[in-house]
Amino acid sequence: MGDSKENICAGGPTLIFACSGAADVGAISDLAARQLTSEGAGKMFCLAGIGGRVKGIMETTQDAAHILAIDGCSFDCVKLCLEEARFTEYDHMRVTDLGLEKGKSPATDENIATVVRTAGKKLAV
């Protein structure tokens, strides 16, 4: 019982939804979200669960204190999935807006670090 009270008082989690698409910028988005999770900046969460309207995932997302959407490119698949599920309160960023080019930006440590730095600033609200 004490745990649920603590969770209510602390607010919901900080969730990170990332593109995990086939393009290099999708891989960068995914790996950046995983790194942010391992660093404790937030928790990478299941975008497919949003698309499938999985009850527990939808509820956890509704309770989130902060949501970050990381899209790989201008297709904005993450943003569109969240909006289709009626989530409107979130920060959004796009890997290709950071100078990385789809099809020409391998998922190197340097490229992932570029996204992690920018995302970290958005999560430090």
Residue range of the domain that includes 103: 17-123
**Is the Cβ–Cβ distance between 103 and 74 less than 8 Å?**
no
**pTM of the predicted model as reported, rounded to 2 decimal places:** 0.90
pLDDT tens-digit map of 61-85: 999 999 999 999 999 999 999 999 9
DSSP per-residue codes, 92-120: EEEGGGGT--TTS----HHHHHHHHHHHH
Count of structural domains within the chain: 1
Q: Is residue 7 part of a domain?
A: no
pLDDT tens-digit map of 81-112: 999 999 999 999 999 999 999 999 999 999 99
Q: Is residue 97 part of a domain?
A: yes
Q: Is residue 31 part of a domain?
A: yes
DSSP code of residue 16: E
Which of 56, 54, 33, 49 lies closest to 112 in space, CA to CA?
A: 33
